[in-house]
Structure 1
């Protein structure tokens, strides 16, 4: 079994110069938690998730992890100003681009399992040999694939 057998080909992605506001609209509209980040040539340059947004919103001087707790700590206006500042930042400023894992369409199924389990990622970009994003796979895609193609046989 290869990655191409269960990857999602219709990729929702963002450009690195899009704003966090535009990112959030895509995440909410498509009911997803993260997307690949690409340059103008559609080359993979990073990944960005709802977790990256929450980390960007967290007060730097506090140890607050939970977004809702952060809102309680700050005055309402100060919180709104902080949120709006992050919303106007580019995705490039909050994305993950270190230790970026990806797979190729012809990689074995087991490679995706290894990355998803060892590195606790929820989603992995699939790129072609030129470095362009051609799909994504998620934990849910793997579970559905196992259920439909292995357990149901």
Structure 2
């Protein structure tokens, strides 16, 4: 079985100029946890997840700096201020740009399992030879495929029982 046999083909992508606010709306509306970021030709340039958003919007605690003659205190940020200041930030500033792992449509099922388990990814973009995003694989897709495989195998062996 190849990646193309179980990847999600109807994918949602965003551009680098998409704002954090727009991204939150897209993730919430579609009930997903992350999306590939593409250029105008559909080529993969990054990936952004709900975790990236949470880390970006997390307010900083109070900081104390000790200098030789003085002590400086930086106030803790308030979530309201953070949201007001950061919601219109382009996701280009928070997306993962380097070391993005991808799969090709013709790779085998085992490659997908190994890649997701080795790197603890929730989703992996599927990219064709031209670098365009053509699908996405999630942990749920792998579990669904394993489940189908297990139950199909059990059903075929139950019919072969000898009495």
Same fold (TM over 0.5): yes
Alpha-carbon shift at residue 152 of structure 1 (Å): 2.5
Shift of 1:128: 0.6
CA distance in 2, matches of 1:61, 1:47: 28
Q: What's the counterpart of residue 84 of structure 1?
A: 84
Q: CA deviation at 1:94?
A: 0.5
Compare 79-88 and 40-49 and name the one that shifted more. 79-88
Q: Distance in 2 between matches of 1:99 and 1:89?
A: 23
Unaligned 5+ segments in structure 2 are 64-74, 154-163
State the structure with more CA Rg. Answer: 2
**As a proportion of its length, which structure holds more helix?**
1
Residues 150 and 4 (structure 1 numbering): CA distance in 2 closer, same or farther, change over 3 Å?
farther
- Once the two structures are TM-superposed, the CA of residue 61 in structure 1 deviates from its matched residue by 5.5
Question: Secondary structure, in 3 states, of the residue corresponding to 2:126?
Answer: strand
1:11 aligns with 2:11: yes
Of stretches 80-89 and 13-22 in structure 1, the one that deviates more from structure 2 is 80-89
Structure 2 CA distance for aligned equivalents of residues 113 and 96 of structure 1: 21
RCO higher in 1 or 2 (8 Å CA, sep ≥ 6)?
1
Match of 2:58 in 1: 58
Alignment of 1:37-116 (within 5 A): 37-60=37-60, 78-116=78-116
Cα shift at 1:149: 2.8
**TM-score, structure 1 as length reference:** 0.86
> How many pairs align?
142
Supply the distance in 2 between the matched residues of 1:42 and 1:84 (Cα, whole angstroms). Answer: 31
Provide the C-alpha distance between the structure 2 equivalents of 1:7 and 1:117, rounded to a whole number of angstroms. 17
Q: Where does the alignment leave 5 or more consecutive residues of structure 1 unmatched?
A: 64-72
Task: Write out per-residue CA displacement over residues 110-145 of structure 1, whole angstroms, 9 at most, x where no aligned residue.
Answer: 111111101010000001100000000000000001
Aligned-residue Cα RMSD (Å) equals: 1.9
Whole-Å Cα distance in 1 between the matches of residues 7 and 33 of structure 2?
17
